[in-house]
Amino acid sequence: MESLKDKIIMERLPQHIAVIMDGNGRWAKQQGRMRVFGHQHGVDAVRATTEACAELGVKYLTLYAFSTENWNRSSMEVDALMALLTSALKNELKTLNDNNIRLNAIGDLKRLPKSQYEALMYAIDNTKNNTRMTLTLCLSYSSRWELTKAVRDIAEEVKNGTIRPEDIDETTVSRHLATAGMPDPDLLIRTSGEERISNYLLWQIAYSELYFTKKFWPDFTKEDLYEAIIDYQTRERRFGKTSEQIKK
């Protein structure tokens, strides 16, 4: 029997997939467990998705793990998420290296507790020469934080004469974002049935294809990822042109 994976057209693989991993809390509640239980199982879905992307040949996978707004959750939940971050970084480091995956992180990382920050920097440094895929964790990240910082940095360059206001173009803005150097996501996946962006990569997803699934994140499997990619491959990306122009 033909598997889902075989239906993927390898020549039209998204180069960059971004994911809003949502629904851990509801997944746990469904089985009468604490929210933290859902986050713990979310790590398995991270591993499966990362592996599947690397195996296929996706070059960039960017995961929304903790938003600026998530700092407003109870300290119990925030602490549990932070503890999970350290253990995942420690436990998955070997797998990242075995699979030749480079770890990257974006966000207001200075807000992370010292031990999480250090574990993160260690893992990033330890995987920096890997070339198969870049896995970016968005931590203490929000798009408005990122854009505000970019505006401030550009203003600073104008002030010290490195750049003139009339020379600021879209490339200048892109270069000042935390994602500088990465291609924009081709495909954005959000789990859990919510259909919103929640302050994620607002500039970068200007032309991304959006894919929403009702599955809660801990239930998201490699097969679900394949389904999302197959759906993506049925879309016609017109970038403002007409269908006829694209087909020429």
Residues annotated as catalytic (active site), given as ranges = 22, 70
Which residues sit opposite 62 in a β-bridge? Answer: 18, 136
**By CB under 5 A, which span of 14-22, 90-98, 111-119, 132-140 interacts with Mg ion?**
14-22
**By CB under 6 A, which span of 18-26, 100-108, 225-233, 239-247 interacts with ligand IPE?**
18-26
Among residues 8, 36, 58, 65, the one that binds ligand IPE under rule CB under 6 A:
65
Residue matched to tokens 């938003």: 67
Q: Which is nearer to ligand IPE, 13 or 66 (CB)?
A: 66
21 binds Mg ion (CB under 5 A): no
67 binds ligand IPE (CB under 6 A): yes
Taking the complex as a whole, the smallest distance from the CB of residue 184 to ligand IPE amounts, in Å, to 19
192 binds ligand IPE (CB under 6 A): yes
Among residues 21, 52, 201, 205, the one that binds ligand IPE under rule CB under 6 A:
21
How many whole angstroms from its chain centre is CA 160?
34
**By CB under 6 A, which span of 16-24, 169-177, 225-233, 234-242 interacts with ligand IPE?**
16-24
185 binds ligand IPE (CB under 6 A): no
Q: How far is CA 149 from CA 143, 144, 198, 218, in A?
A: 10, 8, 18, 32
Question: Please, are residues 71 and 111 in contact by the beta-carbon 8 Å criterion?
Answer: yes
> What b/e sequence results for 67-91 when a residue is b if at least 16 CB atoms lie within 10 Å of its CB, and e otherwise?
bbebeebeeeeeebbbbbbbebbee
Cβ neighbours, 10 Å, residue 17: 27
Q: Which is nearer to ligand IPE, 37 or 60 (CB)?
A: 37
Which two three-digit tokens encode residue 161? 């004469």
239: alpha, beta or left? (left if phi > 0; alpha if psi -120 to 50): left
DSSP output for 58-101: -SEEEEEEEEGGGGGS-HHHHHHHHHHHHHHHHHHHHHHHHTTE
Taking the complex as a whole, the smallest distance from the CB of residue 200 to ligand IPE amounts, in Å, to 7
38 binds Mg ion (CB under 5 A): no
**By CB under 5 A, which span of 20-28, 80-88, 115-123, 172-180 interacts with Mg ion?**
20-28
22 binds Mg ion (CB under 5 A): yes
Residues that bind ligand IPE (CB under 6 A): 20-26, 64-67, 69-70, 81, 192, 194, 196, 198, 217
